[in-house]
Amino acid sequence: MKSLGPLLRLARAAVPLHLARSACPLRPAVVGVLHARFKYTQHQGVKGIKNRKSFFEAQMQAGQQSDADEADEERTNGIQADMRFLDDRAYDEVAGGAMRISRDIASAQHVLILQPYVKWSAKRKDMPSDVRPEDQLAEASALIHSLPNWQVAKALKVPLESLERKTLFGSGKMLELKALIADLRQEKHLTCLFVSKGTLSFAQKRFLEAEFRLPVMDRYSVVIQILRLHATTAEARLQVAMAELPYIWSQAKDASVTQTRRQGYALTDLQKEILRTRERKLRAELDRVRRQRQLLRQKRKQQNYPIVAVVGYTNAGKTSLIKALTVEDALQPRNQLFATLDVTAHGGQLPCNLQVIYMDTVGFMSDLPTGLFECFVATLEDAMLADVIVHVQDLSHPCHVAQRTHVESTLRSLAFNVSGGDPATSQLPPIINVYNKCDLLSQPASDADSDAAAHHISARAQTGLEPLLADIEEQILAATGRRKLQMRVPSGGPEMAWLYKNAAVVDTVADEAYPNRLMMHVVISQRTLDQFKRQFL
């Protein structure tokens, strides 16, 4: 059986990176045809990047891929075998009690949205001055519209003295809201109350539910419901499941406290053990995901592909920009919040013919605990460790300045966590600011809201992309130590073939002084240049 190893590795290498997680179901088909003659199938790699047969044949001959295959097989088999624990009815009962969410999203919901805000600007904490309650209410409505069969019955702003009160609303405001809910119940079937606040304490939720006789959800709960809907891959489901646990624990308090003083709800010993066991399994699987992601990054580093991470606020147009830069028809951007949950790789080419990989990432959102996005750090590490970051911003959004500030602060926090708390290694890669959706502006942005160094583009109309690509190219060359050189080589010789294989050839022109030679304009790293010198000079 040892002689079959290269064949099995060759068949497995034919699976694209973005299908690596689902590679396990393909193994029986491979085993079933071992008696037949194998035909070479070229490795597909990252979408849009053409890999070379000779590179993988050399790897097979040297046996460099055996450890990677064993790690990949271990991860695939482990996830397929252990993913069943995510569908646990006992856990769903605990999560439903804490978050008021359900796996059944097909049933219609009519939601009343309440957007509380502090009416005195001097008392607003952690809220940018340019963010208006109207903008917050619009974002809350967009969250509800992201769920199928969920409709907004009514959305209104509620001015308050403070957001820290136990009852949240005063007695007078409670009477007004009760009368409003009674009227809405006569007009339509009201099923849920959405208080657009990051997190509500369990005491606040319990009081409001008792007063209004409706399930109460906060922003964290609604976002988790959206993430559950959009989480289709194994990695996304694991990360969403992990993001639920901190919220559930924060809502629960020890049962030793008396009923009158209890601020949360009491979990039984069995429920606590269910949560602990689930958290332990999730951490083990996410560690496996991080090791696999690290392995993929090492493979890309060996192949010397530069990485460009595309980040931004949710629904800013990240996927649309990648589609415009890579001309990849398979990408289907959606006008939804949190439409992308997986960090996916897409191959592209810079003006100098240098091939790069664009990493699509999950979008961020304000008024949510940073811990929710820290649960996605297993895949967001690809963005933190990229060569260049492209920060996409929706210039047509009235709060784009606040969104930009929020994304930058979240990136710094994630970089600090990825580095293990070491400030020396938590520096972010170079960031290129991109103002997207310029075609939606009725008038040009003012100088106060615009950055002169940022690129004004429209990914949908594909305008402004050439200066952006030139800037990405410049930043990539500086970050990876590549240079543009002009080299004279024999026409049709092995030097010419070697450069086409190992460097990015911009163009070739005939050498007027030496008819049998060519002038090749290439983009090459110092390490590759040293290899060329050792081999041919």
Helix (H, G, I), strand (E, B) or coil at 179: helix
List Cα–Cα distances, 514 to 50, 272, 349, 500, 536, in angstroms: 33, 80, 32, 21, 19
Res 498: pLDDT:
93
Write the pLDDT tens digit of every residue in 59-72: 444 444 444 444 44
Lowest-confidence region among 119-123, 303-307, 426-430: 119-123
Whether 56 shows a pLDDT value over 60: the answer reads no
Q: Are 47 and 330 in contact (CB under 8 A)?
A: yes
DSSP letter (8 states) at residue 493:
S
**How many other β-carbons are positioned within 10 Å of the β-carbon of residue 521?**
16
How many Cβ atoms from other residues are within 10 Å of residue 367's Cβ?
19
pLDDT-derived band at 382 (thresholds 50, 70, 90) equals confident
Q: What is the pLDDT of residues 204-251, one digit of tens each?
A: 888 899 999 999 999 999 988 888 888 877 888 888 888 888 888 888
pLDDT confidence bin for 427, thresholds 50/70/90: confident
In the block, tokens 């629904």 appear at 315
pLDDT digits (tens, 9 = 90+) for 509-526: 988 888 889 999 999 989
Residue 9 predicted with pLDDT over 70? no
| The two three-digit tokens of residue 523, written as one number | 């983009």
E strand or H helix at 489? strand 482-490
Please tell me the predicted confidence (pLDDT) of residue 399.
87
What's the CA gap between 294 and 297, in Å, rounded?
5
Where are the alpha helices (H) located in 34-152, listed in sequence order? 53-62, 66-82, 89-99, 133-145
Residue 322 binned pLDDT confidence (cut-offs 50, 70, 90): very high
Looking up tokens 């192949």 gives 303
Q: How confident is the model at residue 127 (pLDDT cuts 50, 70, 90)?
A: low
Positions of CATH 3.40.50.11060 in the chain = 87-230
Spatial contact of 234 and 83, defined as CB atoms under 8 Å apart:
yes
Pairing of strands 344-349, 355-360: antiparallel
CATH level 3 topology of 87-230 = Rossmann fold (3.40.50)
The whole-number pLDDT of residue 82 equals 56
Higher pLDDT, 276 or 450: 276
Under the banding of pLDDT at 50, 70 and 90, the label for residue 252 is confident
Q: Is the pLDDT of residue 471 over 50?
A: yes
**Is pLDDT at 328 greater than 70 in this prediction?**
yes
* pLDDT digits 0-9 by tens, 130-173: 788 899 999 999 999 988 888 999 999 998 888 878 788 888 89
Q: Tell me the DSSP string of 298-366.
A: HHHHHTT--EEEEEEBTTSSHHHHHHHHHT-TT----SSTT---S-EEEEEE-TTS-EEEEEE-PPB-S
- Range 261-265 contact pairs with CB under 8 angstroms and sequence separation of 24 or more: 263/201, 263/202, 263/203, 264/201, 264/202, 264/203, 265/97, 265/98, 265/202, 265/206
Residue 158: closest CA among 208, 100, 110, 225: 208
Which of 480, 467, 436 is closest to 307 using CA atoms?
480
- With CA atoms as reference, report the closest residue to 363 among 233, 470, 226: 226
Q: State whether residue 524 is helix, strand or coil.
A: strand
Partner residues linked to 244 by β-bridges: none
Q: Could you give the count of Cα atoms lying within 13 Å of 27 in the half-sphere of its Cβ?
A: 13
pLDDT at position 264 is 53
More confident residue, 419 or 247: 247
What is the structure's pLDDT at 16? 46
* HSE value, Cβ hemisphere, 13 Å, CA-based, for 279: 14
Q: What is the pTM of this model?
A: 0.75
Ranges for all domains in the chain classified under CATH 3.40.50.300: 304-479
- Of the two residues 375 and 70, the one the predictor is more confident about is 375
Question: pLDDT tens, 434-455?
Answer: 999 998 887 766 554 567 789 9
Question: So what's the architecture of 304-479 in CATH?
Answer: 3-Layer(aba) Sandwich (3.40)
8-state DSSP, 440: G
State the pLDDT at residue 437: 92
Kind of pairing, strands 388-394 and 431-436?
parallel
The amino acid sitting at 48 is G
